[in-house]
Amino acid sequence: MSISHQSYTPPKYLQEDEVSQECKDLLSTLPKEKGWAEPHLYNYQGFWYLAWQFQGVLECQKYFQAQDTDILLISSPKCGTTWLKALAFTIINRNSHSISNDHEQKHPLFYNNPHKLVPHLELESHINNPIFEPSSFSSSPSRLFATHLPYISLPKSAKASSCKLVYICRDTKDTFISLWHFMNNLRSNHLGPNSLEEAFEMFCRGVSIFGPFWDHVLDYWKESKERPNKVLFLKYEEMREDPNFHVKRLAEFFGVPFSLEEEGSRVVEKITNLCSFENLSKLVVNKDGKLPSGVENKTFFRGGEVGDWKNYLSPEMVEQLNRLNEEKFRGSRLEL
């Protein structure tokens, strides 16, 4: 099975031959496999990265200094990152960016894709970058960042400090289908799309960006059980089922719970509506805009449906993923 894919050519700084010499030297020592979108994936600390992602990982580990008040939004790719960024940004900044008059379209989400509002640790240069300076977040109670890094690869300061980690996961089958669509949109024209069967085989072996998926999820699940005050573990499906409850849960975890006055003014519901897939996907910025990487904003709003995998996976594929879930999560009390 294949899908139509949009034309996309990664800018130079995202291409494998444009990474630093230091990164190239390290890459030459790492195990590698065929990539989903670019020539190769490289294994570092047990997880797989594109070359330019690996350079970002190294830079992040070397330079990022977490503060106790920081909040890191974490996920395996295609697990609800865009939605979580929108929600967290709006919750944290609700005093400086009021949503009471959102019909006037003054909120930053009307003019910015959520990925632009919340910097991604391994996708930003950490050298002389003002977004990592405390002064750039002076109007916000916390610095807010996102990452796809597995727990083992987080900067040491993120683990040692009192900064808070919010992890969102998603049904394994929906994660795979969403990732397959997304990575096909990033493939160069001459390559054509990856077949569903080829991508499925690689995903099941754990060979996908920031994969293996199961190890990524399980490590944060364990941390959330051992340190619940530091790590909040969320499930995408549960958030879709009761978004208002989880908006309040996030605010409490961030240390900025909603007041009785705010709840009486339906601020929670306003945040849920503003950040909903239905609202964000129809905004002009998310239909026509692009990120600095060249990725079109609309790529992040394909559907967001629960159970979309039913339109693509064969019974044999479903059985295989269910079996892998059982094997990988056995004894953890985690179900996806």
19-63 residue pLDDT tens: 888 889 999 999 999 989 878 999 999 999 998 889 899 999 999
Any idea which of 14-18, 62-66, 261-265 has the lowest mean pLDDT?
A: 14-18
- 121 and 147 in contact (C-beta within 8 Å)? yes
Q: Is pLDDT above 80 for 293? A: no
| Listed range (38-42, 66-70, 231-235) with the worst mean pLDDT | 38-42
126 is catalytic: no
pLDDT over 70 for what percent of the chain? 90
Express each pLDDT in 163-178 by its tens digit.
Answer: 999 999 999 999 999 9
7 backbone dihedrals φ, ψ, rounded to 5°: -70, 130
Q: Is the pLDDT of residue 294 over 80?
A: no
pLDDT band at 1 (very low <50, low <70, confident <90, very high): very low
Categorize the per-residue pLDDT at 3 as very low, low, confident or very high, splitting at 50, 70 and 90: very low
At residue 6, does pLDDT exceed 50?
A: no
Q: What is the pLDDT of residue 5?
A: 36
336/323 Cα distance (integer angstroms): 11
Q: Give the pLDDT confidence score for residue 253 in this predicted structure.
A: 98
Q: Which position has the higher pLDDT, 96 or 192?
A: 96
Element (H, E) at 262: helix 260-264
Which one of the listed residues 148, 181, 216, 246 is annotated catalytic?
Answer: 148
Q: Where are the beta strands (DSSP E) in 151-241?
A: 164-169, 231-235
Segment 129-158 shows an average pLDDT of 84
Q: What pLDDT, on a 0 to 100 scale, did the predictor assign at position 124? A: 82
Q: What is the value of pTM for the model shown?
A: 0.91
300: confidence class by pLDDT, cuts 50, 70, 90: confident
- Asked if 144 and 86 touch (Cβ cutoff 8 Å), the reply is no
pLDDT at 14: 45
| pLDDT recorded at residue 126 | 78
**Statement: 65-329 belongs to CATH 3.40.309.10:** no
* Mean pLDDT value across residues 59-71: 93
Residue 164 identity: K
- For residue 261, pLDDT beyond 80: yes
Q: How sure is the predictor about 100, in pLDDT bands with cuts at 50, 70 and 90?
A: low
- Structure tokens that stand for 140 in this block: 């916000």
pLDDT value of position 246: 98
